Amino acid sequence: MRVVLAEDLFLLRDGLVRMLQAYDFEIAAAVESGPELSRALAELEPDVAVVDVRLPPSHTDEGLQCALEARRNRPGLPVLVLSQHVEQLYARELLADGTGGVGYLLKDRVFDAEQFIDAVRRVAAGGTAMDPQVIQQLLSRRSTVDQPLGRLTPRELEVLELMAQGRSNVAIAAQLVVTERAIAKHTSNIFAKLGLEVSDDDNRRVLAVLAYLDQDAR
């Protein structure tokens, strides 16, 4: 699996390269700036891009904007964004695309090798890997009683958060120590309350939920 990596801090970039190679990823390019990232994504057509939000020369949202431009030119390009903090604007902009695998992780997660590698693989496969803190903030912005999320029970909100992280019903059941049948029921209730069609496709249902969470912030 070919990866284009963009990170301006040398030590972190080198560490990520070594980690990915240890898990049999091929590093198509490891770059440190926005212009380099744009060229690499256009010329190398990787299986997945792992991108820091803030890159030179602007050190604002250069990395994200390069990734979004690449997805416009190549719809469905899997992109895993890394950020130092939960920045809701960037999370919403990434999710608004609605096609292909997407992920948003805080850089703290990078130090958990298995969690990070799992996120890269999940996004590369077209799935979703959202940091729990990002999901929590997206949910908290909309968890008011006059909105559909306000009708969800505390347990349903837990299930929704885990769904948004890309977990299957089996994984959610194990996390919450309940039966898979109970999770299936909670899932049905969540989609009914949100007015979303129930789907057996885990990735599509996660993206649908995230799209709903994002819709009033566009």
Indicate the pLDDT class of residue 44, thresholds 50, 70 and 90.
Answer: very high
Residues of the chain with CATH 1.10.10.10: 136-215
Considering 83-87, 157-161, 201-205, the range whose residues carry the highest mean pLDDT is: 157-161
Q: Which pLDDT does position 177 carry in this prediction?
A: 94
Residues of the chain with CATH 3.40.50.2300: 2-130
Q: Which pLDDT does position 193 carry in this prediction?
A: 81
> Would you say residue 27 has pLDDT above 90?
yes
Helix or strand (DSSP H, E) at 20: helix 10-22
> Would you say residue 205 has pLDDT above 70?
no
**Is the bond leading into 57 cis (omega within 30 degrees of zero)?**
yes
Indicate the pLDDT class of residue 60, thresholds 50, 70 and 90.
Answer: confident
Of the two residues 215 and 5, the one the predictor is more confident about is 5
Q: For the residues 42-54, what does the mean pLDDT come to?
A: 95
| Single pTM value for the model | 0.74
Sheet holding 102-106, edge to edge: 26-31, 2-6, 48-52, 79-83, 102-106, 128-130
Q: Which pLDDT does position 144 carry in this prediction?
A: 46
Q: Which pLDDT does position 7 carry in this prediction?
A: 96
2-130, CATH topology level: Rossmann fold (3.40.50)
> Would you say residue 87 has pLDDT above 80?
no
CATH of the structural domain 136-215, one choice from 1.10.1040.50, 1.10.10.10, 1.10.1060.10, 1.10.1040.10: 1.10.10.10
Q: Which pLDDT does position 181 carry in this prediction?
A: 93
pLDDT over 70 percentage in the chain: 79
Q: For the residues 80-96, what does the mean pLDDT come to?
A: 77
Q: Which pLDDT does position 145 carry in this prediction?
A: 42
Give the ranges where 96-217 is alpha helix by DSSP (H).
Answer: 113-124, 132-140, 154-164, 169-176, 180-194, 202-215
pLDDT per residue over 135-191, tens digit each?
A: 777 666 554 444 667 788 889 888 888 887 777 889 899 999 999 999 999 988 888
Helix or strand (DSSP H, E) at 68: helix 62-73
Q: Which pLDDT does position 182 carry in this prediction?
A: 94
